[in-house]
Amino acid sequence: MSGYTLTVRADARVKKHGHERLDEALAELRRIGQERAETAPARAVGGKLMRRFEPVQQVVARLELKGPGVRCGVDVRGDGSAEAFTGRVRRTLVHQQPDESPYDALARELGV
């Protein structure tokens, strides 16, 4: 059994990746998140009969990391942006410092 589990929810699929160390899991989270951000579909959906959702409102991939004392993740939006969060049921947005990526902000929050 691995210490940390990275769950990737995207394209109506769920994939789990196991890692022994937190820094390895965060590196994999960053790699997958950046790949998803590059291929994010930047188009609005909906309109006449249903509410219109702009790309920034759409979560195209949710990457969640859990392990001993760790519950966090990153949401990749339809416009390619991403935001980090901590918690699972009650998510708290991780605020980014100037010139800091959401992945760096998450690592800082976790003390890695």
Output Rg (C-alpha) for the chain, integer angstroms: 14
Give the residue with greater pLDDT, 65 vs 54: 65
pLDDT at 47 over 80: no
CB of 33 closer than 8 Å to CB of 40: no
Rounded to an integer, the average pLDDT of 78-82 is 91
Give the per-residue pLDDT at 11: 85
pLDDT at 1 over 60: no
Tell the burial category of 9 from Cβ atoms under 10 Å away from its Cβ (0-12, 13-18, 19+). middle
Token reading at 101: 């990526």
Give the per-residue pLDDT at 43: 77
What residue segments make up the domains of the chain, in order of their start?
4-110
> What is the chain's mean pLDDT, rounded?
90
Nearest to 78 by CA among 10, 32, 31, 26: 10
Give the per-residue pLDDT at 2: 67
